[in-house]
Chains A and B, each alone.
Chain A
Amino acid sequence: MKNKGLGSLLLSMVICGSLLSACGGNSNTSSKNSGDTEAKAKVAEIVFALPSFNRIPDDLSKVTNAINAITTEKIGVKVDFRLFGPADYAQKVNLALQSGEKMDVFTTLGQFSNYVSKSQVAPLEELLPEHGKELTAILDKDFGPDILKTTTMDGHIYGIPVNKGMALPTNIIYNADMLAEAGVAADSIQSVEDLPAVFGAVKQKLPDVVPFGPINVNPTDTGLVNWMKGASKVDYLTDTTGVGVVIGDNGKVVNFYESDVFKNGIQMMRDWFEAGYLQKDTATTTITAMEMVSSGRGFSFLGGYSGMEVGKQLSAQVGKNIETKRIAPFYFDTSAVNSVTWMVSSTSKETEAAVKFLNLLYTDKELINTILFGIEGEDYLKVDEHHVKFPEGMDANTVPYTAMLSSGIVGSESLQYQLEGIDWSDVELKLKENKDTARSPYFGFIFDQGQVKTQISAVNNVVSQFLPALVSGSVDPETIIPKFISALKDAGAEAIIDSKQQQLDAWLAAQQQ
């Protein structure tokens, strides 16, 4: 009896012991990290998190070492380089910010003002004059001095917008071979009014092809709202609900969904839908127009792109002969510029080092292109001053490292290499359009949602209930838009509009001083 009990006791202790020993490994790891930190006290360490739309390599050590060779020499900063996929990025960054884990430099991927309202980001206005001179200089040169207004709230600068061609005019993106087969000349497309005739010709000649599809799904987005914003100078005043916009320059905040601009746009899409240019299930489909075009079953879609060379990039991406035609100008409001913003965590202990790094990220050609393209000779080859290509026999999926698809969120486009075949004058055009594109008089205004969060949450539900069906033309605007407006009012839209009007008036008054 005694021996039996003793055996059970020993066995259970062994099991517990083996369980606990598994936890021990973690503490060993953290001890090692502590040692590293002590040994390199003179070199500041920061974590830099980048979203990548390419394949994420298993081993980043070579690229990280190449980055650190530049940063430790020039600014005495050692970078812990983290690469996350687009679906993971926000989740991993937010988790680090919330748990207090080290996370120094990160980007928004949208929703700038929410980071500020939760005090997750550090003010930078005192650090930029000393550590960010070159950064502010290149922003002035490539965009203009008012770019930082889009990331300033209550007098504090909370982030640096990415420096690139910001103007994204609405294009019709189409399969050029199908257009030729339908007997239509590309020159006949000058505006959105010309599109129904093109769709009709394509549908008649190629009945199995869907003439027009959504650029995004779940929820469905046909690009119609962005077209309306550009064509009619609509400023959304930084939130995405559409409740509380200014159309033109009269300073009056209105419900976009009650406007004639919205009703006319929806009616146009309804006409297209009833003519059969969109699939019947566009409001709920899970297949984007890009996928339809890739498979040869789709003809076109609307999208906002900068420059004129995007057709070549899309052709390479989908394996078809793609061309683009601009059908509406772009209109700069605050969100157009601050939707991709680099920020420094409010809990960072190395804010100076982080700003020094951002200064390099925007101005150091070698650093920018190492982050985007990797190591010369291994990950890419130089073709000329501005162009690169992949090593022989490799492409974006087989090269050891590339983050080239993150070119829209890294540093300064004017310092980036371009893939072979892209006309460099297109970069110059983008920079010119940064200066020439019409700007809203309310450029720089940022809406603080704190006082109307309840209404915003209710309005979000109403918008996601009605808008996908409206922008896909799936429902009759005559009957549905009034219901939509009524539901918005019930959800508290008027309170949001009043709050915005109040804040906008105060902001305008402050601009006069």
Chain B
Amino acid sequence: MTARRKSPSKPLKKTLPLLILAGPGLLYFLINSYFPMFGVFIAFKDVNYAKGIFGSDWIGFKNFAFLFQTSDAWIMTRNTLLYNLAFIALGTIVSIIIAILMSELLNKLYSKLFMTGLILPNLISMIVLSLLVFAFLNADSGFVNHSILRPLGIPEINWYSEAKYWPYLLVLIQIWKTAGYGSIVYFASIAGIDKSIYESAKIDGAGKLKQIRMITLPLLKPTIIVLVLMSMGRIFNSDFGLFYQVPMNSGALYSTTQTIDTYVYRALMQLNDIGMSAAAGLYQSLVGFALVLTVNAIVKKVNPENALF
């Protein structure tokens, strides 16, 4: 009787301080992530400031038309999707390779030194990065033309007018910038693997590559799936700095550098129409949301324990 009376109240007493402590964080999250969802209305309104947002006329899907009505729609969608798929695939592979190599470093000093060097690119502003790239690729004085091609007598390339090089350049730049930072999560996962498994495998005659293939990679699978699923949510978004600043907004490159975000920016620079920009944001979010649900459903069917929800 006494024990029974005490046990119901115990959880409340124990969790109340934590709940109160979490209060500001939950409030912050609510304000910053849920209240802005009212902005969805803007995508369906012909915004008139004298009437206010909620008083403006409904116009159905008119604000979405500019995203689909021309041949640019195909180009920007193709570019956005393919670049993101390349970034996810190559980014994941390179990050895992870096993490595995880092985990084999037993000297802590080297480990810290290399990790710092690998993470540094992620801290560089995209504006600064665009000027670093410019220093390499400028037609007259860039390092590539001026110090490599010209001395070798190879015809110089006007990089900012040749679209065919930019799929490779952008992917290379993105991987350089983000793979080091992306490897941290994998590095942490590898550090969490029970070392005795490796010792057992070694006793049974497994070499280093076999250990990696049979132990490290299978145990990383849940982390890989979670991170890829999260990336799917933003597959229709692009890094504005990478696609607008790094190519120096060169018109000759649009066929390979135009993405949904850059298109919307250029399209609405003069119109200043927040209904159309809200429509673009909503479209990107809905596609991301649908993709996360779809991919998660597939993962759940194939390997239930690794699904996000």
Cross-chain contact B49 with A98 (CB below 8 angstroms): yes
The reply to whether the CB of A120 lies closer than 8 angstroms to some CB of chain B is: yes
Evaluate whether A239 and B273 lie within 8 angstroms (CB atoms) in the complex, with A12-B17, A12-B20, A467-B251 already known. Answer: no
Cross-chain contact A457 with B66 (CB below 8 angstroms): yes
- Bound Cα distance A218, B134 (Å): 14
Chain A residues close to B by CB (< 8 Å) = 5, 8-9, 11-13, 15-16, 19, 94, 97-98, 100, 111, 114, 118-120, 218-219, 239-241, 279-281, 283-284, 286, 346-347, 449, 453-458, 460-462, 464-469, 474-475, 490-492
- Bound Cα distance A19, B25 (Å): 11
Evaluate whether A449 and B47 lie within 8 angstroms (CB atoms) in the complex, with A9-B20, A280-B139, A469-B161 already known. Answer: no
Cross-chain contact B270 with A239 (CB below 8 angstroms): yes
Which of B23, B66, B252, B276 contacts A469 (CB under 8 A)?
B252
Which of A461, A467, A475 contacts B263 (CB under 8 A)?
A461
Which of B14, B18, B140, B251 contacts A464 (CB under 8 A)?
B251
CB-CB contacts below 8 Å: B104-162 with A:
131, 134, 138-140, 158, 160-161
Evaluate whether A98 and B251 lie within 8 angstroms (CB atoms) in the complex, with A16-B23, A118-B47, A460-B269 already known. Answer: no
Chain A interface main SS type = helix
- Bound Cα distance A466, B134 (Å): 21
Which residues of chain B are within 8 angstroms of A462 by Cβ–Cβ distance?
72
Which of B20, B139, B161, B266 contacts A460 (CB under 8 A)?
B266
Evaluate whether A347 and B271 lie within 8 angstroms (CB atoms) in the complex, with A279-B140, A284-B249, A490-B70 already known. Answer: no
Which residues of chain A are within 8 angstroms of B69 by Cβ–Cβ distance?
454-455, 458, 492
- Bound Cα distance A465, B76 (Å): 13
With both beta carbons as reference points, the residue of chain B lying nearest to A5 in the complex is identified as B13
B83 CB to nearest chain A CB (Å): 18
With both beta carbons as reference points, the residue of chain B lying nearest to A122 in the complex is identified as B50
Which of A280, A453, A466 contacts B66 (CB under 8 A)?
A453
With both beta carbons as reference points, the residue of chain B lying nearest to A279 in the complex is identified as B140
- Bound Cα distance A460, B267 (Å): 5
Evaluate whether A111 and B272 lie within 8 angstroms (CB atoms) in the complex, with A13-B20, A467-B251 already known. Answer: yes
Chain B interface extent, by class: 35 or more
Cross-chain contact B66 with A5 (CB below 8 angstroms): no
Evaluate whether A460 and B70 lie within 8 angstroms (CB atoms) in the complex, with A281-B140, A474-B161 already known. Answer: no
The reply to whether the CB of B298 lies closer than 8 angstroms to some CB of chain A is: no
Evaluate whether A119 and B48 lie within 8 angstroms (CB atoms) in the complex, with A491-B72, A492-B69 already known. Answer: yes
With a 10 A CB-CB cut-off, give which of B16, B48, B131, B273 has the most chain A CB atoms: B273
- Bound Cα distance A226, B250 (Å): 21
Which residues of chain B are within 8 angstroms of A219 by Cβ–Cβ distance?
249, 251
Cross-chain contact A281 with B51 (CB below 8 angstroms): no
Which residues of chain B are within 8 angstroms of A461 by Cβ–Cβ distance?
72, 254, 258, 263, 266-267
The reply to whether the CB of B21 lies closer than 8 angstroms to some CB of chain A is: yes
- Bound Cα distance A119, B266 (Å): 23
Which residues of chain B are within 8 angstroms of A346 by Cβ–Cβ distance?
49-50
- Bound Cα distance A26, B12 (Å): 35
CB-CB contacts below 8 Å: B258-281 with A:
258, 263, 266-274, 276
Which residues of chain B are within 8 angstroms of A281 by Cβ–Cβ distance?
138-140, 160
Which residues of chain A are within 8 angstroms of B32 by Cβ–Cβ distance?
none
- Bound Cα distance A468, B134 (Å): 18
CB-CB contacts below 8 Å: B45-104 with A:
47-52, 65-66, 69-72
Evaluate whether A464 and B139 lie within 8 angstroms (CB atoms) in the complex, with A15-B21, A98-B274, A453-B271 already known. Answer: no
With both beta carbons as reference points, the residue of chain A lying nearest to B248 in the complex is identified as A284
Which residues of chain A are within 8 angstroms of B254 by Cβ–Cβ distance?
461, 465
- Bound Cα distance A4, B14 (Å): 10
The reply to whether the CB of B24 lies closer than 8 angstroms to some CB of chain A is: yes
Which residues of chain B are within 8 angstroms of A12 by Cβ–Cβ distance?
17-18, 20-21
Q: Which 10 A-B pairs have the closest CB atoms?
A: A457-B267, A8-B17, A119-B50, A284-B248, A465-B251, A12-B21, A454-B66, A12-B20, A457-B66, A465-B254
Which residues of chain A are within 8 angstroms of B20 by Cβ–Cβ distance?
9, 12-13, 16
- Bound Cα distance A492, B21 (Å): 57
Which residues of chain A are within 8 angstroms of B66 by Cβ–Cβ distance?
453-454, 457-458
Evaluate whether A456 and B271 lie within 8 angstroms (CB atoms) in the complex, with A9-B17, A12-B21, A280-B139 already known. Answer: yes
